[in-house]
Structure formats: C-alpha cells, structure tokens
Structure 1
Amino acid sequence: MASKLSNEELKKIFNTFDNNGNGKLSYSEIESTVLRTYPEFSSRKKVIMRAYKQADGSKNGYIEIGEFGIFLDSLNHFYELYEIFQKIDKDHDGRINFDDFKKGRKVLKLIDLSEAELKAEFDKIDMNHGGLILFDEFCNYAIKRNIAAQVH
C-alpha cells in the first residue's frame, strides 16, 4: 500500500494525521484520524495499536514521516490478520479458545494435524498460558507463519 505511494503522496497523507503540525504523530492523532476516515475500525482498535507499535521503530512514542509508510502497511496487514482472527473467534469475544481453534484449523491450514498436535500448536501460540489466544499472540504466530499470504 504505502510502498506504492510517492514521497509527496505519503507526506500529504501524513499531514492529514498531524493535527498539531509538529511533524510527529501521537497515538491519539493516529487513532482519531483512522476512526474518522474509516469508521469500521471502531471495533478494531487493537489493529490500530498493533500497527502503531510496529511502526514506532525509534520507540519514542511517535510515528514520524520516515516511519509512516510502515504504519500504513502495518495497518493494512494487521487488518487482514484481524479478519482472519475474527473468522476463528466464533463468539467474537476477542479471544480464541481451543474449540474455536479446532474449528478454525482449515483457515490456518492445519487440517493435517492430529488433535494432540493441534493442542500443542495452540499452547505454543498461547504465550501467557491463559488458555486463550489473544489478538497479539495470534499476530505473532501469524507473522511467523505468513498466514495472511496463505489465506489470500
């Protein structure tokens, strides 16, 4: 997405986010602009936060123009992952339990695994061992396995 934009186009979009004109974007500026432009993100704030954290390479708490293209690409990528996550999270409570995971095995291309292997895979993803896969945990797993590219 952003890789197809010229520097001028990227700067123009950046400026629509930069409400106070200081040349750096806070999470608040990013969230408000994304929600104003794309209201469907109101139920996907985790996607915005994940993209923001991914793009903040300097770890200074702001997205600067050099990081903005990464933010836009990350926003698109994590949106795709969220859509996959939602297909698996049948009750849409923002968590995937083992039953959801078993039912979603086709989406994840895990149809050849036995139930024991599937449980081991689930436990590997469930980094905090809470018995549920959260969106951040799913993203870490999906990125390692390049799941978005496999689904599309």
Structure 2
Amino acid sequence: MAQRLTKDECRRLFRQFDNGNGMLSLAKIDRAIIYWYSEFGTNRQAMLRAFKAADTNGTRFIEFKEFHRFLDLLYYYNQLSDLFEQLDTNKDKRISFNEFKKGFELIRYSSTDEKSLRQEFNRIDTNHGGYILFDEVCLYLICNVS
C-alpha cells in the first residue's frame, strides 16, 4: 500500500510533471501516478474517480491546490476498490447478494438476518440491477459515511 505524501513531497511531484502552467491534465496525472504510486497506476477506476472529485473548479485539470486532495482521494478510492475486489469473488466486476452476504460473514456480522441484509443490499443497488457496482458502493459511502 502506498504511503501518503507530505506537503513538500506533493509539491515536488506536482512540479516534476507541471509544464509551467500550474495544472496537470489526466494524462500528466496518469504518468505521475505510474511514476510515484505504481500500485495505483493500473487502477484506472480509482484514478478517474479521484481526478473527477478533486477537480473542484471543473476545469478538467488538477491545480496544485487540488493535487494533495487528489492524492488523498486516490488513496481512499484505491482502498475501496481493493475491498470491492475482495467481495467480488467471481471477478465479474459486480457484487451479487451472495457475495455481499459472505462479506458480512467475513467481518463477523453473520448474526444479521437475511431480510436486513437484503434491504441493505437493495439500498446500495440504486439501479436495481440485482448486483452492486463499484460506482454504487462509492455513492452509498459518500451519502452515508461522514
């Protein structure tokens, strides 16, 4: 797992990839992540989600003031992605109710009744497709965890 950067390390990394305009495009960010956080380089889903969330002014570029937040979000979304992959035991990029239920059993919530688990599953499955997608997990956590 990657270690979080200090402000100085963050500034050095930003400057290394900045061409002088004070902004990094997604392509530049991609190179920076592959260089510094190589374990995040292949997790495109986490990188794109962090990029969009950190681009607070909607310019489609990350400015220095947004860069540290981007790295924090990347760290967070990468952890979520890892958890999602652990629950997605058949690797079809979605979580079935049975996978969801087994996940609860792994964290010792097996005493939770199936009806309650089904209700929680349905709350997360916002598109009602019968499976939980990574984006649905992220949306659920953003709305329900403070």
1:13-67, CA deviations, whole angstroms, 9 ceiling, x for partnerless residues?
112332x332111112112321344443354110101111121111221111111
Q: Which amino acid aligns with 1:88?
A: L
Deviation at residue 111 of structure 1 after TM alignment: 3.4
Q: Aligned to 1:54, what secondary structure does the other structure show?
A: helix
Number of aligned residue pairs: 142
Q: Percentage identity across aligned positions? A: 39
Summarize the Cα distance change of 1:37–1:93 in structure 2 as closer, same or farther, 3 Å threshold: farther
The match for 1:17 is 17
The match for 1:149 is none
Return the alpha-carbon distance in structure 2 between the equivalents of residues 112 and 17 of structure 1: 51
Summarize the Cα distance change of 1:110–1:29 in structure 2 as closer, same or farther, 3 Å threshold: farther
- Normalised by the length of structure 1, the TM-score is 0.80
Deviation at residue 11 of structure 1 after TM alignment: 1.7
1:43-101, CA deviations, whole angstroms, 9 ceiling, x for partnerless residues?
41101011111211112211111111100111111111111111101012221111111
**2:115 corresponds to 1:116:** yes
Deviation at residue 109 of structure 1 after TM alignment: 6.4
User: Which residues in structure 2 correspond to 1:51-66 (within 5 Å)?
Assistant: 51-66=50-65
Unpaired runs of 5+ residues, structure 2, are none
Summarize the Cα distance change of 1:10–1:125 in structure 2 as closer, same or farther, 3 Å threshold: same
Return the alpha-carbon distance in structure 1 between the equivalents of residues 110 and 64 of structure 2: 43
**2:81 corresponds to 1:82:** yes
CA contact (8 A) 1:81 1:142 kept: no
CA contact (8 A) 1:125 1:138 kept: yes
Summarize the Cα distance change of 1:92–1:118 in structure 2 as closer, same or farther, 3 Å threshold: same
Return the alpha-carbon distance in structure 2 between the equivalents of residues 13 and 96 of structure 1: 36
